[in-house]
Amino acid sequence: MLLVPSCRGQDRADMEKAVDSSLPGPERAAAAAARVEPLLQPDLARHKLRHGDPVYLRAFKEEKKLELWMKPRDSRNFVLFRTYPIAATSGRPGPKLAEGDRQVPEGFYHFARRGLKPDSRYHLAINIGYPNAYDRHHGRTGSFIMIHGSRVSIGCLAMTDPKIEEIYTLCDAALEEGQRFIRVHLFPFRMTDARMRAASNHRWIDFWRNLKEGYDAFEEGQQPPEIHVRGGRYAVDS
């Protein structure tokens, strides 16, 4: 079931000043959690969610939106908890190909606890795990692609400091509660049939059709699909 997220808690958080970025990493993350947890709690309860429930992240480059989905403990399906505006991205439509090309990747990524970077120069950050197996198969290079604070991007998703505190805290809590890894799916745009038709002559249309298989699988069931790489393509396992 798709729930429309409330913005009241998010608005309150945005009015608050983010914690001091000069704090050591662990202290910075702890201070951020202490600041945002009370602001998140009313909306979590409204959606029948708890702090620590599993998280799934989905972003759209064209729309500059990052969605944070969570799974209630009494449900198989994820629900939409927050839609965050992305403050800054970089590059053009299409995947990241090489170190230094300033492209935000497109594809299916994931991170475990080691992907959390509380000592980032961009306040708090999450390493999405680029390059993945697909990228390596195709000889793509690059590193340290993050979802982070601030409003500056060189191939990353910049979310502002107050918003990354929410995202980081919810991801950290989910991993602490036993989620083994968190999926991050990055798309060039919302992959509706109409938008795909409009892109039918684009150089990356074949790649995007492959991404749409994963997009459609989630749209149909609100469960992040299992995705592997076979023969140089993403394979969606039902």
Quote the distance between the C-alpha of residue 186 and its chain's center.
7
Q: At what angle do helices 8-15 and 25-46 cross, to 10 degrees?
A: 150
**For residue 135, which of 177, 101, 86, 88 has the smallest C-alpha distance?**
101
Strand-strand pairing, 146-148 and 157-158? parallel
Instruction: Find the distance separating the first CA and the last CA of the chain, reported in whole Å.
Output: 19
C-alpha span between 88 and 141 (Å, rounded): 22
Selecting among 47, 123, 148, 185, the annotated active-site residue is 148
Considering only CA atoms, which of 81, 80, 77, 109 is closest in space to residue 96? 109
- DSSP, res 213: H
Has 148 been annotated as catalytic?
yes
C-alpha 90/C-alpha 101 separation (Å) is 9
List the catalytic residue out of 156, 171, 185, 228: 156
What region does 26 belong to: left with phi over 0, alpha with psi -120 to 50, or beta?
alpha
Residues acting as catalytic residues: 148, 156
